[in-house]
Amino acid sequence: MFSPMALDIQSAGGTTASRLARLEGEGLLILGDRPFVLKDGERSLVSASASRGGTKNISLDPATGRVGGAAEDADVGALARLLGRYAAWATALVGEVAPRYAPAIAPGRTSFRPRPVEDGAASPRKDDRRLHADAFPSRPVGGRRILRVFSNIDPAGEARVWRVGEPFEDYARRWLPRARRNLPGEAWALERLGVTKNRRTDHDALMLGLHDRAKLDADYQATAPRREVRFPAGTSWMVFTDSVVHAAISGRRALEQTFLLPVSAMADETASPLRILERLTGRTLAP
């Protein structure tokens, strides 16, 4: 069930309302006029050899400033500066494109993805080549949105290719009967044991269930509706990865910044996974 999708590249211009309507309604805003440009001293860093073997990402933790996933002989200080510069650039971009989000967003990890997507993953649950909507097993979001900014910085000009699947509500209706909320005392125990960094809400538990059910179902992965979207080198894009069902198919050398956004900061809360799941279940799923 593949269908072509023309690359609909937007500028960061236009009205705030039109940008928000596009981002919140479709979940994906492609910005062809906002490349992240590497400095001369940074070009040597964007190599697959910069990451440790078996690690797909080099990441910067905003809370500690620690860089993880780098190879032993990598210039960790230079990588930290590159990732820090990208974090600041992505934050400014969100403020430009969706200014109502700026006072409310909380930065998450910044990552550099140097290896080809085709290198695969250690397990099906971690394989981002499979259609899914994002959910974090160890870092619950508590109902907040997962907003990510990506930039394709491949110096060889290779496009990054995604498949984008069905609307989130269709995805949720498909898997919700097989997902579950927390058992009594489960969220407390997971936090107490250090399995999760903070308390897992029922929203987090359901989102994780949808994520795992979709990734582990071979028939769904083979037959689910999807469209192909290409992000040329030099392109940046914003995406709510908790509502856009997606799979990364090919590409390498991308930068990514994660933000967490309270649902209350949205122009249209009803477009959020939290409100959709609450409507489908008839329950309050996060404080």
CA dihedral (260, 266, 272, 278) positive or negative? positive
The topology (CATH level 3) of 8-281 is Jelly Rolls (2.60.120)
Q: For 211, phi and psi rounded to 5 degrees?
A: -60, -50
Per residue in 267-283, pLDDT (tens digit) is: 999 999 999 999 999 99
Amino acid at 9: I
Spatial distance between the Cα atoms of 248 and 95, rounded to a whole number of angstroms: 26
Reply yes or no on whether the pLDDT at 7 is more than 70. Answer: no
Residues of the chain above pLDDT 70, percent: 91
Q: Does 52 or 232 have the greater pLDDT score?
A: 232
3-state secondary structure of 24: helix
